[in-house]
Amino acid sequence: MTGTVSARYLKYYYNTCIQLGCAPEPLLEFLGAGDTPFENPIRRFPNDKAIGLLHLGADLSGDTSVGLEAGKNFRPSTFLDIGLAFSSSKNLRQALAINEKYQALTQQFGKTHLSVEGDHAYIYFRTYSEDAEYMRPAVEAAFAGYAVFGRWLTWLYDQEMAGMQFRHACPPHHEKCKELFACDIEYNARVDVMILDETIVDMPLPNSNPQLLSVLLKRLDKAITSIQRRATTVEAVSHYLLTTLHHGTPSITKTAAAMEMSERTLRRRLAEEDASFREILEEVRKEACEVYVHERKQSISEIAHSLGYSEHSAFTRAFRKWYKQSPTEYLKSV
């Protein structure tokens, strides 16, 4: 099976296996990426490693619901900018369109598609493998995530699905599935699909934020373009910095190590693309700052910390350079 999954996405599978009682050693051995496989945020794993990890977790724990439980554990942070874009969308229809367009950033073993027909909305999940039993835990994880996310986005925490259809056979944990989806479930079906009342997909979302969404979609466009072809060194560095800013002041040494090259080689490759580490870092910080400002969830000092500034004065100088205003003045105008 071709395609990959992000380290962040796969980590939720791994953590769920641990929660169900699996020892870490056989899981890590199966992944074959050392003792800290998820430390590098730009690492990606083959699809078969992701699906295989769920099957291994089920075998080791004796719990066939590992995929379902993993999906229930998904959070907006699982999907980084995509998750934040979901929250900022005007309705579920827009959120699902965003998911369909940028889904490959998190996983490439399945594709979501929304179809509204009559009184119902159908969320299909088409996998890249025809083997329904092999894909079962990943499909259950995907739909469990949609159920949890949909209820969270709409604030309809007790919302029942109108129906569920799965290509795979009825699993031993079918009662857990029925409890989560709160509807009748058809197994051995022709497709994998979640069925909703049509009115739900166009219901205004309470946390809609068009300004923030506009900023996020620009970043996502860059990210999906770079993953659909071989990313340039500048794009790879930008992606790494974006995912690690909140851990403190980024360094070229750590970035080079994450990209599995020497610092000297990284500097040379950036120079070949007419760029420097400092320039990329400043651009990434500016883009991230726009998101935090429009998100309106952090104080000025918290934004500075999230951007990796150790000193507030350095952040203020950078902010004035970007926006020709102090952070306080700018926040009053947006």
Whole-structure pTM value: 0.83
Is the pLDDT confidence value at 266 over 80? Answer: yes
Q: 334: Cβ–Cβ under 8 A, 6 or more apart, which residues?
A: 211, 293, 294
Dihedrals φ, ψ of 29, to 5°? -65, -40
Q: Where are the alpha helices (DSSP H) in the chain?
A: 7-19, 24-31, 47-61, 66-73, 81-88, 92-102, 132-154, 174-181, 210-228, 233-244, 252-258, 263-272, 277-295, 300-306, 312-323, 327-333
Give CA–CA dist 107/94, Å, rounded. Answer: 19
> Mean pLDDT over all residues of the chain?
92
* pLDDT value, residue 154: 85
CB 113 within 8 A of CB 127: no
Is the pLDDT confidence value at 280 over 70? Answer: yes
Give CA–CA dist 159/149, Å, rounded. Answer: 11
CB 179 within 8 A of CB 106: no
Give CA–CA dist 332/334, Å, rounded. Answer: 6
Nearest to 30 by CA among 16, 50, 13, 44: 50
SS (H, E, C) 80-118: CHHHHHHHHCCCHHHHHHHHHHHHHHCECCEEEEEEEEC
* pLDDT value, residue 75: 80
Q: 251: Cβ–Cβ under 8 A, 6 or more apart, which residues?
A: none
pLDDT tier for residue 283 given thresholds of 50, 70 and 90: very high
Q: What percent of the chain has pLDDT over 70?
A: 99
* pLDDT value, residue 243: 82
Q: What number is the average pLDDT over the span 25-53? A: 92
pLDDT (tens digit, 9 = 90+) per residue, 130-152?
A: 999 999 999 999 999 999 988 88
* pLDDT value, residue 244: 85
Region of poorest pLDDT, from 117-131, 133-147, 233-247: 233-247
CATH code, 4-202: 3.90.1520
What's the distance, Cα to Cα, between the start and end of the chain in Å?
47
Give CA–CA dist 24/22, Å, rounded. Answer: 6
Q: Domains of the chain: which residue ranges? A: 4-202, 230-333
- Calculate the alpha carbon distances from 176 to 186, 298, 319 in Å: 14, 38, 50
* pLDDT value, residue 240: 87
* pLDDT value, residue 332: 77
The CATH H-level superfamily of 230-333 is Homeodomain-like (1.10.10.60)
Q: What number is the average pLDDT over the span 185-198? A: 97
Q: How many C-beta atoms surround the C-beta of residue 272 within 10 A?
A: 11
* pLDDT value, residue 165: 98
Q: What number is the average pLDDT over the span 227-235? A: 80
135: burial class by Cβ within 10 Å (0-12, 13-18, 19+)?
Answer: buried
- Calculate the alpha carbon distances from 182 to 151, 160, 253, 313 in Å: 12, 5, 50, 53
Beta strands 185-186 and 163-165, pairing class: parallel
